[in-house]
Amino acid sequence: MRPAGRHALESLYFTYPYFSAPAATDDRSTSAPVIIVGAGPIGMVAALELARQGQRCLLIDAKSTFNDGSRAICIARASFYILDRIGALAPFVQKSLPWTTGRSSYRGQQILEFEMPDSPDDKFRPMYNLQQQYIEAYLWQAVAAQPMIEVRWQTRLEVISHDRTQATLTLSDPHGAYTVTAPYVLAADGARSTCRKQLGLRLKGENYEGRYVIADVQMDHDYPTIRRALFDPACRPGGTILIHRQPDTIWRIDYQLRDDEDADDATTEANVRASVAGVLAEIGHTGDWDLEWWSVYSANTLALDDYRHGPVFFIGDSAHIVPIFGVRGLNNGLADAQNIAWKLGLVLKDHAGAGLLDSYTPERRGATLDVFENASKSARFMTPPTKGWALMRDAALSLSLRHSWAGLLANPRQMAPYSYADSPITRAQTDALGGPKPGALLSDVALNTGFLSDQMGADFTVIWIGTAPKIAHPLLTLRAYSADDPVAQAWSAPEGSAWLIRPDLHVAARWENADPQMITTVLDDMLERHS
């Protein structure tokens, strides 16, 4: 929602583009090996990863522009690695605001300050703030420059069905309805997914009672770029407020509604302005400000039982809905998109058997359940679901005024990269090596020229410590580092040890005493490439 006198897409700082529907003369019956439904951040990342794999896709969206409002604003370090891999990184680095610190207060007194892990070996900072309009705009720049991606705006999915070998989609645009087919479909059409509804699927899980208004405010304010959480502030007794700085002098303010507040009444412009004014007074801002945009949300942990249904794969909010606490929604979805896209790319190129796709649900639903475990703890603290939880939360906050250990309970548990240790395509831990474990995201290392992650190949990479033998495999890039190299030092890696790194930079396997045959056998087994 926007203030009176401004239309839905009239922003104080961002100009929304307009995307026309396909021309009536276009051959709309043409398709691609993969159809992606939804051109938000998740769908565009999937399309870009498929293009990186050399695969064409058709990307459709019912809208004529980007999503309105800032929505998801926090991008985690792991997501920056994804943006780097798909070639979309540069504008994100230039525009976003990095941060490492969070502070929580109770009744005006600071009770917690935390620092997220950050070192010179990390190519990216732990977290970046950037409005979703920019996220979509920068991804669109990359998509528009990619000839492997066909985009059809103002194109709505009406009906989807499938058999074992392909999906059939009825699409409509201003010129009428038509049908396309594809071997694979990625459903990236959000929390109200048409794909999910058409296939008779429903999300399962837990709904929380807490409701938050999110409001973007434009103002000059000198507070640093950190995460601020205010518990039981004077302006909203018993509630919680979150504050994040964004580019273009925009500040995100999230404030909790009381149980007795009607959401429709609370989100009128007059009441939002009054609530925001109270928050600004709370943090000591006395200057001018203007209201940019606002919305309301509830915290839920919901997911599909299976992220794959025949040739249809669900990614992002179509597969799962997570609370915003710990900035897990967007980042979890970006990992979904990359995960299924690199696997589809290898299958479509006949570099892997179709069985590789069976690892998608175990890996990404496993990641979602891990998110649920941590996000639920945060959600119960931020929005207590019962009087009992509220009493316990309030008791912990009261104790935090005198005991620092109690303040740790206010930690939002920021998102950390998920490990695919239990994946069917990860080789189990069998040694006591240092460095990243099987399933974990690559532990980056600063080198004389750039970072270790910069040296990873397009597909799989072997990191070998010592003099490496020749390894003949079409999908493998070999990188050898001496025992006194920063990589070996950082990982405490002995000569002859090796790591097999996946296209998404997760570790597939590692060996204390590797040999080429062992590595290629493991890789071919992963990919179901047996002669």
Q: What is the pLDDT of residue 434?
A: 87
Q: Would you call 517 helix, strand, or coil by DSSP?
A: helix
Largest alpha-carbon pair distance within the chain?
72
Q: Would you call 150 helix, strand, or coil by DSSP?
A: strand
Q: Tokens representing 288?
A: 């001018």
Q: What is the pLDDT of residue 241?
A: 93
Q: Would you call 277 helix, strand, or coil by DSSP?
A: helix
| Same fold flag, 34-97+126-203+303-372 and 419-531 | no
Dihedral Cα 119, 124, 126, 129, nearest 10 deg:
150
Distances (CA, A) of 519 to 365, 460, 476, 487: 28, 11, 10, 20
Q: Tokens representing 169?
A: 């989609």
Q: Number of H helices and number of E strands within the chain?
A: 13, 24
Q: Tokens representing 171?
A: 């699409």
For residue 69, count other CB atoms closer than 10 A to its CB. Answer: 23
**Rounded to the nearest 5 degrees, what angle is found at the Cα of 269, between the Cα atoms of 190 and 213?**
45
Nearest to 151 by CA among 287, 282, 15, 36: 36
Q: Would you call 241 helix, strand, or coil by DSSP?
A: strand
Q: Would you call 279 helix, strand, or coil by DSSP?
A: helix
- 318 with 38: CB under 8 angstroms? yes
Residues 155, 162: Cα–Cα separation, whole Å = 20
Q: What is the pLDDT of residue 60?
A: 98
Dihedral Cα 184, 188, 193, 195, nearest 10 deg:
-10
Q: Which residues contact 391 (CB under 8 A, 6 or more apart)?
A: none
Domain ranges of the chain: 34-97+126-203+303-372, 419-531
For residue 168, count other CB atoms closer than 10 A to its CB. Answer: 15
**Which residue is listed with tokens 């496993």?**
366
* Bridge partners, residue 303, by sequence: 204, 320
**Crossing angle between the packed helical segments 77-85 and 41-52, to the nearest 10 degrees:** 40
- 115 with 407: CB under 8 angstroms? no
Question: Does an H or E element contain 237, and which?
Answer: none
Q: What is the pLDDT of residue 531?
A: 41
- 66 with 38: CB under 8 angstroms? no
Using 70 as the pLDDT threshold, list the residues of the chain that sit under it: 208-210, 324-327, 375-387, 389, 403, 405-415, 430, 529-531
- What values do phi and psi take at 456, rounded to 5? -75, 145
Sign of the torsion angle spanned by Cα atoms 91, 123, 44, 201: negative
Strands 167-173 and 156-162, sheet pairing: antiparallel
* Bridge partners, residue 103, by sequence: 113, 228
Q: What is the DSSP letter of 317?
A: G
* Bridge partners, residue 254, by sequence: 214, 242
Q: What is the pLDDT of residue 322?
A: 84
Distances (CA, A) of 359 to 243, 310, 313, 423, 451: 38, 14, 12, 7, 29
Nearest to 304 by CA among 187, 198, 374, 201: 201
Residues 464, 493: Cα–Cα separation, whole Å = 9
Question: Does an H or E element contain 83, and which?
Answer: helix 77-85
Q: According to CATH, what is the number of the domain 419-531?
A: 3.40.30.120
Residues in the chain: 531
Q: According to CATH, what is the number of the domain 34-97+126-203+303-372?
A: 3.50.50.60
Cross-sheet strand order for the sheet of 127-129: 74-76, 127-129, 97-99
Radius of gyration of the chain (CA): 24
Q: What is the DSSP letter of 401?
A: T
* pTM, entire model: 0.95
Q: What is the pLDDT of residue 485?
A: 95
Nearest to 435 by CA among 495, 491, 513: 491
Q: What is the pLDDT of residue 389?
A: 64
Residues 396, 411: Cα–Cα separation, whole Å = 12
> Burial level of 148, CB count in 10 A (0-12/13-18/19+)?
middle
- 353 with 60: CB under 8 angstroms? no
